[in-house]
């Protein structure tokens, strides 16, 4: 292992050894950021992630096949048609009957209803459309429903969240449940909430989805990340959405 990892590992193990398990009320990652980073998110003119919302608006009105429909052909008024929608994802899809994330839903709209090539997970097009749709829920509380369909996903997500993994043998909960508010290599560990995504992350100099963040965290504890779009990540998203129920959507967020 590289020296900085060993240091990170031993420092975390010491933290974990002293851990109590606290189930605190949800707090947004925004509250743990420096004032300068908050300002970037607060000001739509400075917020780098507003680029995604603007790009999303262009895609919304664009033909996906020659002479074909646009999103807008069916969803005429995005502000009213998509108000509050993102706050309820993941949810059971009325068409397929299975749990879907917002990304999965947008992919199926493009591939299914528009007959166009589906954008890849993590592609700028998908980030842009999910940011645009998420933006229509800004300020509204996350409210993923606990239903007979979502309940097993929530349970699986909770299990993934609390299972130790990787070379550092840490679970998501070890950091985001037991040690939020503490410093780790210049970051203040937050509760690992998902209410701001997609985000612009300054340390990446790039945009990212919820699932990109999960992958970053898994890699930083030297664990094998799950695939984008996997059932495991869907379960994590569903669990985290319910765990953070009531937090206001901040999309598009800015994080350190
Ligand atoms: C070694 C400690 C550690 C572990 C273990 C860890 N993370 Fe993180 N995580 C961080 C740090 C540091 C950040 C960036 C600062 C922050 O928001 O906490 C972060 C950020 C996040 C965020 C973004 C929060 C926001 O407001 O933008 C999410 C979501 C997240 N983690 C989820 C997870 C999940 C899911 C797991 C388990 C697969 C996990 N993390 C494991 C340290 C950890
Ligand atoms: C041919 C008409 C049509 C087109 C074109 C279309 N949609 Fe839809 N869309 C629908 C209908 C009808 C529903 C409601 C049933 C459902 O959830 O599938 C829907 C549902 C949705 C939902 C879920 C809403 C909710 O309440 O959960 C999203 C998100 C969405 N569409 C996004 C898009 C995007 C993005 C595009 C363009 C890439 C698009 N749609 C293009 C007809 C369309």
- What residue segments make up the domains of the chain, in order of their start? 26-256
End-to-end CA distance of the chain: 25
Q: Specify the residue with its C-alpha closest to ligand 1, atom 24.
A: 192
Cα 195 from Cα 28, distance rounded (Å): 7
Provide the percentage of residues in the chain whose pLDDT is more than 70.
91
Residue 73 Cβ contacting ligand 2 at under 6 Å: yes
Query: How does the average pLDDT of the chain come out, rounded?
Result: 92
**What does the pLDDT look like over 186-238, one tens digit per residue?**
889 999 999 999 999 999 999 999 999 999 999 999 999 999 999 999 999 99
Whole-structure pTM value? 0.93
Nearest listed ligand to the Cα of residue 41: 1
Cα 192 from Cα 198, distance rounded (Å): 14
In the predicted structure, residue 108 carries a pLDDT above the cut 80 = yes
Tell me how many degrees the CA angle 138-54-119 measures, rounded to the nearest 5: 95
Q: Measured in angstroms, how far is the CA atom of residue 158 from the centroid of ligand 2?
A: 30
**The tokens of 68 are what?**
């074909």
SS (H, E, C) the chain: CCHHHHHHHHHHHHHHHCCCCCCCCCCCHHHHCCHHHHHHHHCCCCCCCHHHHHHHHHHHCCCCCCCCCCHHHHCCCHHHHCCCCHHHCCEECCCCCCEECHHHHHHHHHHHHCCCCCCCCCCHHHHHHHHHHHHCCCCCECCCCCCCCHHHHHHHHHHHHHCCECCCCECHHHHHCCCCCCEECCEECCCCCCCCCCEEECCCCEEECHHHHHHHHHHHCCCCCCCCCCHHHHHHHHHHHHHCCCCECCCCEEEC
Quick one: pLDDT band at residue 24, thresholds 50, 70, 90? confident
Residue 110 Cβ contacting ligand 2 at under 6 Å: yes
Q: Measured in angstroms, how far is the CA atom of residue 18 from the centroid of ligand 1?
A: 19
Q: Measured in angstroms, how far is the CA atom of residue 62 from the centroid of ligand 2?
A: 14
Residue 104 Cβ contacting ligand 2 at under 6 Å: no
172 flagged as catalytic: no
Residue 212 Cβ contacting ligand 1 at under 6 Å: no
Residue 15 Cβ contacting ligand 2 at under 6 Å: no
Residue 99 Cβ contacting ligand 1 at under 6 Å: no
In the predicted structure, residue 3 carries a pLDDT above the cut 70 = no
Q: Measured in angstroms, how far is the CA atom of residue 116 from the centroid of ligand 2?
A: 14
Report the CATH fold assignment for 26-256. Cytochrome Bc1 Complex; Chain D, domain 2 (1.10.760)
Phi, psi for 198 (deg, rounded to 5): -65, 155
Residue 166 CA: which ligand 1 atom is closest? 5
Q: Measured in angstroms, how far is the CA atom of residue 109 from the centroid of ligand 1?
A: 30
Q: What is the pLDDT of residue 1?
A: 37
Nearest listed ligand to the Cα of residue 251: 1
**What does the pLDDT look like over 39-91, one tens digit per residue?**
999 999 999 999 999 999 999 999 999 999 999 999 999 999 999 999 999 99
């Amino acid at each position: 292992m590289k020296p900085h990892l060993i240091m990170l590992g031993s420092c975390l193990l010491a933290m974990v050894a002293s851990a109590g398990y606290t189930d605190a009320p949800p707090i947004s990652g925004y509250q743990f950021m420096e004032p300068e980073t908050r300002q970037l998110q607060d000001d739509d003119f400075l917020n780098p992630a507003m680029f995604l919302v603007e790009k999303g608006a262009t895609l919304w009105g664009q033909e996906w096949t020659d002479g074909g429909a646009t999103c807008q052909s069916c969803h005429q008024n995005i502000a009213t048609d998509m108000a509050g929608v993102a706050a309820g994802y993941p949810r059971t899809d009325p068409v397929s009957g299975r749990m879907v994330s917002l990304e999965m839903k947008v992919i199926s709209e493009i591939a299914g209803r528009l007959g166009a090539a589906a954008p890849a997970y993590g592609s700028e097009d998908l980030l842009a459309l999910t940011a645009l749709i998420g933006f229509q829920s800004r300020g509204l509380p996350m409210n993923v429903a606990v239903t007979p369909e979502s309940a097993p996903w929530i349970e699986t997500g909770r299990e993934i969240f609390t299972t130790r993994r990787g070379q550092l043998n840490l679970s998501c909960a070890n950091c985001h449940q037991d040690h939020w508010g503490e410093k780790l290599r210049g970051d203040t560990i937050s509760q690992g909430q998902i209410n701001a995504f997609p985000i612009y992350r300054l340390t990446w100099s790039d945009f990212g989805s919820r699932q990109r963040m999960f992958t970053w965290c898994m890699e930083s504890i030297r664990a094998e990340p799950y695939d984008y779009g996997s059932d495991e990540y869907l379960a994590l998203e569903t669990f985290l959405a319910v765990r953070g129920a009531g937090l206001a959507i901040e999309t598009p967020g800015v994080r350190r």
